[in-house]
Amino acid sequence: MRKVAIIGIGMNKWGELWDTSLRELYTEAALAAMDDAGVARVDSMYIGCMSSGLFTGQEHLSSLMADYTGMAGTPATRVESACNSGGVALRQGFIEVASGMSDLVLVGGVEKMTDVDGGMATYALATAADQDYESFHGVTFPGLYAMIANAHMARYGTTREQLAMVAVKNHHNGSMNARAQYPFEITVEGVLDSVRVADPLRILDCSPITDGAAAVILCPLEKAKEYSDKAVVEIVGSGHATDTIALHSRKDLSWLGATYTAAQRAYAMAGCKPEDIDLAEVHDCFTIAEICVTEALGFFDKGDGGPAVERGDTAITGKIPVNSSGGLKSKGHPVGATGVAQIVELTEQLRGESGKRQVKNARRGLAQNMGGSGGSTTVHILEVK
Amino acid sequence: MRKVAIIGIGMNKWGELWDTSLRELYTEAALAAMDDAGVARVDSMYIGCMSSGLFTGQEHLSSLMADYTGMAGTPATRVESACNSGGVALRQGFIEVASGMSDLVLVGGVEKMTDVDGGMATYALATAADQDYESFHGVTFPGLYAMIANAHMARYGTTREQLAMVAVKNHHNGSMNARAQYPFEITVEGVLDSVRVADPLRILDCSPITDGAAAVILCPLEKAKEYSDKAVVEIVGSGHATDTIALHSRKDLSWLGATYTAAQRAYAMAGCKPEDIDLAEVHDCFTIAEICVTEALGFFDKGDGGPAVERGDTAITGKIPVNSSGGLKSKGHPVGATGVAQIVELTEQLRGESGKRQVKNARRGLAQNMGGSGGSTTVHILEVK
């Protein structure tokens, strides 16, 4: 397998983008990434998107996005793995370049979520759970993650305040990110006083509904310098795993098995350990998710994810900065785009281009993206050369 | 890149399967393919599916299908390219094995289409067209292919009877296929007298709404004999291309550009020409499609696709047998499964296991699968070793 580099990144300012359509969102990010890489065409394209069918009545994004980026003819493939669609798109692009099939591959993620009302958005998102045994009976994602939170609090003594501190930290980071949907600070008191969604989760524990896209350009590592004179970032590890789709099938509700397995696979490929990671972007769809993820990635012991946030270990100036971008909570969560946007953030950080939120001495970053209540996960490890 | 073999195939009897759910359809075909290959697990899994969100309210098939095949943990990826989803799934599996990332890869396709009424099915299928500029204004796929048919008839003199002969041939072939949804003969008069859908297309020019799944197992060619003592079938060529998503953007409505390009890429990889192909499975979603496809694949000159059917060139005993399985018309068209079922048919034919519909001296087969009105296409070429 060939080594693979990231030579271009692109992303919109995320938010409720009433004037921008699905195809425009993707095209904007894709062309920005191509511009950043200095390439005028690609050999192949991946589009991560969860549910353009339910959100906009449009499937067949392969043809649509090749067409609207001006590259009709080019092989294009849409992949879906719920909120992990972007991470899976990156992995497919990685495999294609590694295989030798293609040199220049565009990996984009997109979701246009605000063309439907809130009830339909909640329905569309719930299609990531088990339709027959979960969604049909009325549970939605805040409810599923509330069960995870209750299990974690009961088993480990994780506090309601520690959950809030995840949101506060991520909003602090997001306040320094011009592309974030909600680039402002919040407080622990503000989170605790916000509307209850599914006990113990409040509205400020939840990532928002967002329109947005992100894209990166991949090429063989050995050819990276032919295209770009920016710092070269290599994908040194890629791990992918699944778990049961239904939460009730798991032995321990507070443990994300697919994240653990995907991380182990990525660490093995990269030849490194959790303590070798300088910063991470992880899937904080709800505040409890970030706590569980940082444990499953091996950054902290089981049950220590909550105290770690309280100690400041995951702050930009901490031991292992998590979600310097603002995370899903502040930056926004257009579900198919999230996994690719994590790679955009890490690449900027590793290039040293992150301005006020720059992590010092960032040489190796990890991205963790997951679908549903953790039923699928990808983990990627990037290194600046 | 490593060479890639097909060592297992599986498929259900297709039809209106009221008692079988989406997950059961996929699992049945997947386990049959694993049984055929003699393997108890795989390293990775692809699921081709067009719109399980709109048809069944279930996305996140990666997690669901890994879970329900008893392999939660295994990397799994759902791909979508409208009715070309199965072909794209095969290509992704091919790339993954070729890359060295995985040895044993399960590629399945599935669609459960009869859980919604006909109007919703037509809406779901129309999401493969351009939502903003085609579907929103009321055109559906029979209308789009009727425009293609009218263009082909006007330009080349293709006759209404020649369109009917495609359906008659495919039903004849399907009458010998126990897994076909409609395994019976029809007549030219019967097609011409059937209900008009979109002039000149009649209901018997159209492929049906179907529930079904199909699956194949891939491994490195050099390891094929470790798993199976059946004849080894190699994927010697894989081509993928896109075209404009909207029909009105094309210079010539009667020409399938993505099929031509994907075929040229597959022929180049395989080192062969159209005249070296012994049989083909092609995407006859409407009778006119088969005629256009056989021209774009280079089996016949432009405009000669209609006369070729009339001459019997595409019959099982003809110069280049097309759709020995019965095609989409008689076998059925569960849209995400179709591309994989084509590979099941070719593999059986190349192994010499096709019984009454066996093509004599079948050594090299071609599968062409496409999405929308031809906006995306994959072409694969298989050879028995």
Mean per-residue pLDDT for A246-252?
97
Burial tier of A184 (Cβ tally within 10 Å: 0-12, 13-18, 19+): exposed
Digit-by-digit pLDDT tens for chain B (385 residues) are: 999 999 999 999 999 999 999 999 999 999 999 999 999 999 999 999 999 999 999 999 999 999 999 999 999 999 999 999 999 999 999 999 999 999 999 999 999 999 998 889 999 999 999 999 999 999 999 999 999 999 999 999 999 999 999 999 999 999 999 999 999 999 999 999 999 999 999 999 999 999 999 999 999 999 999 998 999 999 999 999 999 999 999 999 999 999 999 999 999 999 999 999 999 999 999 999 999 999 999 999 999 999 999 999 999 999 999 999 999 999 999 999 999 999 999 999 999 999 999 999 999 999 999 999 999 999 999 999 9
Helices (H), chain A: 22-37, 52-56, 61-68, 85-99, 118-126, 141-156, 160-174, 188-193, 224-227, 257-270, 287-296, 305-311, 327-331, 338-351
Identify which of B60, B91, B98 has the shortest CB distance to residue A371. Answer: B60
**What would the pLDDT profile of A332-359 be if each residue is shown by its tens digit?**
999 999 999 999 999 999 999 999 999 9
Q: CATH assignment of A138-207+237-384, given 3.40.47.10, 3.40.50.1370, 3.40.1110.10, 3.40.50.410?
A: 3.40.47.10
Rounded to an integer, what distance in angstroms lies between the CA atom of residue A354 and that of residue A340?
17
Q: Any residues with CB less than 8 A from the CB of A3 and at least 6 apart, and which?
A: A98, A220, A221, A222, A234
The class level of CATH for A4-117+210-227 reads: alpha beta
Say what the pLDDT of residue A118 is. Answer: 82
Residue B43 identity (one-letter amino acid): D
| B73 vs A contacts (CB less than 8 Å) | 241-243, 257-258, 261
Say what the pLDDT of residue B244 is. Answer: 98
Q: Could you confirm whether domain B137-208+236-384 is CATH 3.40.47.10?
A: yes
For chain B, domain boundaries: 4-117+210-227, 137-208+236-384
Mean per-residue pLDDT for A208-212?
98
- Shortest distance between the Cα of A336 and any Cα of chain B, in A, equals 12
Domain A4-117+210-227 and domain A138-207+237-384 have a common topology? yes
Most A CBs within 10 Å, among B42, B44, B60, to test the A interface: B60
Helices (H), A47-84: 52-56, 61-68
| B107 vs A contacts (CB less than 8 Å) | none
| B375 vs A contacts (CB less than 8 Å) | 60, 62-64, 67
Say what the pLDDT of residue B118 is. Answer: 82
Mean per-residue pLDDT for A22-41?
98
Say what the pLDDT of residue A46 is. Answer: 98
- Shortest distance between the Cα of B98 and any Cα of chain A, in A, equals 6
Say what the pLDDT of residue B100 is. Answer: 97
Q: Any residues with CB less than 8 A from the CB of B185 and at least 6 apart, and which?
A: B168, B171, B172, B175
Q: Per-residue pLDDT for A218 more than 90?
A: yes
Identify which of A76, A372, A376 has the shortest CB distance to residue B242. Answer: A76
ipTM of this complex > 0.85? Answer: yes
**What would the pLDDT profile of A86-124 be if each residue is shown by its tens digit?**
999 999 999 999 999 999 999 999 999 999 988 899 999
